[in-house]
Structure 1
Amino acid sequence: MSDKNKPADPWLYRVSLWLGSAALVIAGIVLIIWKSMDDVLAIVVLSGILVLLSNFFAYIGMEKPLKDERVKKIGTISATYSWFITLAFMGFLLISGYWSHRVFTPEELFGLIFVVMLLSMLVINAYLGGKADVE
């Protein structure tokens, strides 16, 4: 088989997605703590987003290198649950901010959303990947 037709290594997709997600989670935590963004942090955020977006569909099994029905099902379920968890979390932030008269900065909200969305997706994906059967 020639190098051109050789499928990409699935491990590379997983590792790069986890590294991009780790960069975004760390940047999110820094955004929450510092409540401001500097140039270096902006580059980390943009790099993490670029890595995440370039490998996301392969990671959840929707591109040819990792095309597998079980991986596709797990990835779709984890992305869906992550979206709903993040939506509920944003609603909770809205209500708690209203009741406590706390005004969140955009940097704090961006950081919180990064952390909740990415960690929930990765944890759910890892959990479902360890189960024998996914419904």
Structure 2
Amino acid sequence: MLRQPLQLHFTNVPSPGAIELAARRRIRWMEQVYPAVLEWNLNVQSVDFDDATGTFAATTRARIVGGDVLSGNAQASDPLGAVRLAFNQLESALESEHDDARSRAVEWLNAMKRRIAHRVEHE
């Protein structure tokens, strides 16, 4: 069971049930690793090109604490492949955001330590 809401949108995609199951399984794992996510979104659609090859586009989005929305986009010849690649991109974006947040927290903590040390020196 997912902890955060998931919105799914499928347009001209075969086997949406299998895609939904795979997406839910991936999101359950990602929720354990990235607890800052407040909402998930997956959009999968068939893309028509002139050469008439079956191509699918997938877009994944995650709204995180603070209101930012991170996303991943991919295209593949099968919908499950497109979803997997889009989730890989989203996971990279979440990892980058996590690292940035950690760096900002360390900078803030160091600034507080300097302020406290400065006050102690001048008392």
Q: Tell me, yes or no, whether TM beats 0.5.
A: no
TM-score by length of 2: 0.33
Please state which structure has a larger fraction of its residues in helix.
1
Where relative contact order (Cα < 8 A, 6+ residues apart) is larger, the structure is 1
**Rg comparison, structure with higher value:** 2
Please state which structure has a larger fraction of its residues in strand.
2
